[in-house]
Structure 1
Amino acid sequence: MAPGDILIDVKGVAKHYGAGETRVDALRSVDLQVRAGEVIALLGPSGSGKTTLLNIIGCILAPTAGQLALDGETVFDGRWLRDDLRRLRLDKIGFIFQAHNLLPFLTAGENVALVLDLAGAPAAMGQARARELLDYLEVGHRAGEKPAHLSGGEAQRVAIARALANRPRIILADEPTAALDSQRAQLVMDLLRKLAAEQEACIVTVTHDEKIFDRFDRLIHLRDGHLVQT
C-alpha cells in the first residue's frame, strides 16, 4: 500500500444506548478518514464520544449504524464481517490505554514479547523487539521487573512498547501520556510520529495533554457526538 492511503475509513457511524426518552446518542453519523503517516488527536469534554469512537475503530464496540474499513478492508457494515476480531486486532491494531493493563505475573520484557509470541513469531524475535522498544523508551534497565515494581510512568512506557511490538499500521491511544512528565511525553509522541512515517502507520490519540498538541497533524473535536475538524 502506498504512503498516504486510507487506513481508517469511518462512514456514517452512530452509536446510541437505550430507546425512547432514555436514549443516549454517544455518536451521531460520524465520518472520519485517517491516512498512512498521519498522527491525529481526538479532543472534547467528558461524554463527547471520544472513547466510544476509539473503541469502535478498535473493533471492541459495535456501532449502531454505519460502516468501518481498516487498512482497505471493510470490517463492519451493519454487522461485523470478520469472524475472528481478536486476530484482526492482533494483526492490524496496537492499543495504548490510560491504565497500563500489564500482566502482573510477567516481567516488563515478557509483557512486550508476548504480543509477538501470540502472533506466532519466534521467541528470540520477540525478545529482541522488546529490548529495542524498552531501550528506546528508557526503561530497558527495568525489563526484568514485574509491573508491581515499576513506577506509574515506567509501567505506561512498557505498555506503549507492548502496543508497538507487532508493528501495527493502526495505533489507538487513550491518554497515553497522562502519567508522563513533559520530556517523556514528548519522547513518546516523537516515537509514535517516527513509527507513523517509517511504517506507513496512522495514530489516533484521545488526549487532554496540551503539551503534546504540537505533535499532531490534525486536532479533531467531538462535541455531543458530532465531529468537528480543525
Structure 2
Amino acid sequence: MTARITLEGIGKTFGAGETALRALDGVDLAVQPGEVVGIKGPSGSGKSTLLNIVACILEPTDGRLLIDGQTVWDGRYRVADLRRLRRERIGFIFQFHNLLPFLDATDNVALAMTLAGVDAAEARARARGLLDYLQIGRRAAAMPARLSGGEAQRVAIARALANRPSIILADEPTAALDSERARVVMDLLRQVAQDRQTAILVVTHDEKIFDRFDRMVALRDGRIEQDRRRAA
C-alpha cells in the first residue's frame, strides 16, 4: 500500500551561521491511507514546521517529501503547480475554524469547490451532502456567528473535504472545544479517514483526544522521540 505522506530524512534549518536554528533534524514518517496520526511535543519541538512542510508551504532544507507516492520535494520542488497540489490533494483544518462570516455554512463549503472550478450548483449540492455526512445538515443555512464551536468545526471539516483530498492536515482542531465536542470532532475525523481512506495528520496539545489516534508521534528538538501505535 502506498503511503499518503512519506517524509524521508526531512530537516529544516532557519537562518545561517551562529544564529542557525535546526527546527527539524532527520525526520522519517509515513502516514497510510485511512490512518489518523497525532503529532505532540513541547513548544519549539518542530510540530508546526513539520505540518507546513507537508502542506508544501515551507521548503525543507534537506530530505525528501512524497505525497501519494509522488516525489514532491527532493532538493527542490518537483511539482509544477503547488497551488493545484494543495487545492486538490490537501485539506486544512485550523484551531479557529476561519469560516467566512458573510457566507452561510453551505456556501463556506461550496466556495472551496467553486475556486477549484466546480459549477456553483454542483458545488452547493456537494456541500449539502458533506454537511449531511457530518451530521450538521440541519444547520446548512446558518451563518457562522449562529453556530456553536463544535458545529463550526464540523463545517470546517466539510470544507476541508470539499475537493476530495487524500490528506487532511489539522492544527490544534479541538483546542477551542470542550471535552465532549472535542471527542465528537475526532470521531468524525476517524470516520472520514476510514470511509475515504484519507490520511489525517493532527498537531495537538489536547490530551483529552490522545486516545482517538491510531498513532501518536512525539517530537522533541526537531526529532521523533516516540512513535507509538494505539493498543488494539
TM-score computed with the length of structure 2 as normaliser: 0.90
From 38, 41, 48, the equivalent of 1:44 is 41
C-alpha contact 1:93 1:170 (8 A) present in aligned 2: yes
- Give the whole-Å Cα distance in 2 for the aligned partners of 1:100 and 1:180: 11
Aligned amino acid, residue 24 of structure 1: L
* Unmatched tracts of structure 1, length 5 or more: none
Shift of 1:111: 1.0
Identical aligned residues as a percent: 64
Shift of 1:180: 2.0
Residue in structure 2 matched with residue 226 of structure 1 by the alignment: 223
Please give the root-mean-square deviation of Cα atoms over the aligned residues, in Å: 1.7
Q: Cα offset for 1:128?
A: 2.4
Output the CA distance in 2 between the equivalents of 1:122 and 1:205: 31
Which sits farther off after the overlay, 108-117 or 35-44?
Answer: 108-117
Name the counterpart of 2:213: 216
Aligned length: 227
For residues 57 and 214 of structure 2, the distance between their equivalents in structure 1, rounded to whole angstroms, comes to: 25
Q: What CA distance in whole angstroms lies between the structure 2 residues aligned with 1:201 and 1:154?
A: 22
Alpha-carbon distance, 1:136 to partner: 4.5
CA distance in 2, matches of 1:197, 1:117: 26
CA distance in 2, matches of 1:36, 1:127: 27
Once the two structures are superposed, residues 113-161 of structure 1 have per-residue CA deviations (whole angstroms, 9 ceiling, x without a partner) of 1122122223333222322333444543443343344444433332222
Contact residue 96 and residue 176 of structure 2 kept, 8 A: no
State how far apart, in whole Å, the 1-side matches of 2:125 and 2:187 are. 21
- Tell me which moved more, 117-126 or 19-28: 117-126
Runs (5+) with no aligned partner, structure 2: none
Q: Tell me the equivalent position of 2:65.
A: 68
Partner of 1:82: 79
1:74 positional shift = 0.5
Residues 137 and 188 in structure 1, CA contact (< 8 A), matched pair in contact too: no
3-state secondary structure, aligned to 1:74: strand
